Amino acid sequence: YCCDNVDVDARLINFCSIPGVSQSKLPLPEPFTWKYPLPLAEEEPKYPPHFELKSPTTPNSVTAICGDNTVQVEVKKDLLGIGKLVQPTDLLLGDCSATREDPESQSLIFESELHGCGSQLLMSDDSFVYIFTLTYTPRPMGDSPIIRMTDVSVTIQCHYQRSHDVSSGHLKPTWTPFSANMAAEESLHFSLTLITDDLQHTRASPEFLLGDMMKLEATVKQFHHAPLRVTVDSCVATVVPIVDTVPRYTFLGNNGYVCLFDSQLTGSSSQFLPRTQDDKLQFEVEAFRFQQENTGVIYITCSLRATAADSPVDPTNKACSFSNGWREASGRHHTCSCCDTDCGTGSKNDLTGSGISRSTDIHHCIVKWSLMDWVVSLSLSDPLNI
């Protein structure tokens, strides 16, 4: 400001008149430049040192009982095994709603005649198959447009034999012990079932993940008092309930003399378990699937045979599996010596010498390798009655 400017404020005039205060003209500043700051470098994300993606487990939430004329299906309301209960109105067996609810087990019960609830009937040369479809279609809760469950479709199959074989032979006088004669006259009831990992109960679901051990139990029951021993002559796996088909995998055999080859051929852990009862034989097979077959169903067909319990365990009546060498379920390991060669085709020491004590039982094992493709196959078949 110039102090002699007439328009200058009086206070500035007073300031200009202060002794020792001088004024000078300030130079113009340099041109001002400004740029946006560079973004900060992103830090690498820090992950937990031991992170594993949680693998889904197979829920045992659907069971079925195939009766003579009806089927009963029990479905846990925690259908997917994730703690989320389904709404009963979202679950149908064909076109049928649940007939009742069990509050204690939190289950829904469906009951139907075999030809009801939209079932389909398929017939093969030796069996009838009734097929039901259990569907779960979740709906949004309230007014929200989202759902937190997935659609589920479960196929349930009830298998029934079309015919039964009965053999009656003429009894001839013999000097063999009375117990052997009684055993030959008895009605034999064979069964092949899936059992739980603790080997104590029938397994509620035939579904397995690849790598699981499928535990099976062969039994024979008699209706008198002559003790029997059951053996498994052979087992064949197929993708349809017919043995003479391709692909097929014979994992137990050697001309019908019991040698379980799967562990020797594939390096699996398949084996006979130590025998604890003569009328019961347990074995486990590592779950597998056929290459380029994606049905998810494996049919295991086994030939069962009974002998008198007091007959010796020998190369023709044994139960051998491979684990760093051949091992026999009863501890008579020397009887397995022919498993690496040929156990021959001589007559076996069965009850009658004619082989009528054999029974072929078809068991359906479900090997699951796709998370959302669910199939449940249940088998109800009468064994060979003598």
- C-alpha 220/C-alpha 203 separation (Å) is 18
Residues 190, 220 contacting (CB under 8 angstroms): yes
C-alpha triplet 80, 374, 136: angle, nearest 5°: 55
Q: Please report the pLDDT score of residue 184 as a whole number.
A: 44
pLDDT, greater one: 270 or 170: 270
> pLDDT, tens digit, for every residue of 131-183?
999 999 988 766 656 566 778 899 999 988 765 444 334 334 444 444 444 44
Give 252's contacts (C-beta < 8 A, 6+ positions apart): 232, 234, 235, 258, 259, 260, 261, 262, 283, 302
Sign of the torsion angle spanned by Cα atoms 11, 12, 13, 15: positive
Does 356 score more than 70 pLDDT?
no
Residue closest to 192 by CA, chosen among 165, 215, 172, 175: 215
Partnered with residue 250 across adjacent β-strands are 236
- Bridging pattern class, strands 91-93 and 326-328: unpaired
> How far, in Å, are 132, 267, 273 from residue 270 at the CA level?
33, 9, 9
> pLDDT, tens digit, for every residue of 90-146?
999 999 999 999 999 999 999 999 989 999 988 777 788 899 999 999 887 666 565
> pLDDT, tens digit, for every residue of 186-206?
457 888 888 899 999 888 888
Q: Please report the pLDDT score of residue 377 as a whole number.
A: 42
Residue 283 pLDDT level (bands cut at 50, 70, 90): very high
Residues 133, 153 contacting (CB under 8 angstroms): yes
Average pLDDT over residues 72-81: 91
Does 347 score more than 90 pLDDT?
no
Residue with tokens 């009863």: 330
Average pLDDT over residues 230-248: 86
Average pLDDT over residues 371-380: 39
What pTM was estimated for this model as a whole?
0.48
Residue with tokens 């994730």: 82
Share of the chain above pLDDT 90, in %: 24
Residues 254, 338 contacting (CB under 8 angstroms): yes
Mean pLDDT value across the chain: 75
Share of the chain above pLDDT 70, in %: 67
Give start-end residues of each CATH 2.60.40.4100 domain in the chain. Answer: 174-370
Does 27 score more than 80 pLDDT?
no
pLDDT, greater one: 217 or 297: 217
- C-alpha 166/C-alpha 383 separation (Å) is 10
Does 245 score more than 90 pLDDT?
no
- Bridging pattern class, strands 359-368 and 207-209: parallel
Give 348's contacts (C-beta < 8 A, 6+ positions apart): 233, 256, 257, 305, 307, 316, 317, 355
> pLDDT, tens digit, for every residue of 290-326?
877 777 788 888 888 888 888 888 888 899 999 889 9
> pLDDT, tens digit, for every residue of 328-345?
999 999 989 888 887 765
Q: The domain 62-160: what is its CATH number?
A: 2.60.40.3210
Q: Please report the pLDDT score of residue 360 as a whole number.
A: 55
Q: Please report the pLDDT score of residue 327 as a whole number.
A: 92
Residue closest to 87 by CA, chosen among 45, 144, 28, 148: 148
Q: Please report the pLDDT score of residue 374 as a whole number.
A: 40
Give start-end residues of each CATH 2.60.40.3210 domain in the chain. Answer: 62-160
Average pLDDT over residues 244-267: 82
SS (H, E, C) 194-231: EECCCCCCECCCCEEECCCEEEEEEEEECCCCCCEEEE
CATH class of 174-370: mainly beta
163: which 2 tokens? 């015919």
- C-alpha 90/C-alpha 294 separation (Å) is 28
pLDDT, greater one: 384 or 267: 267
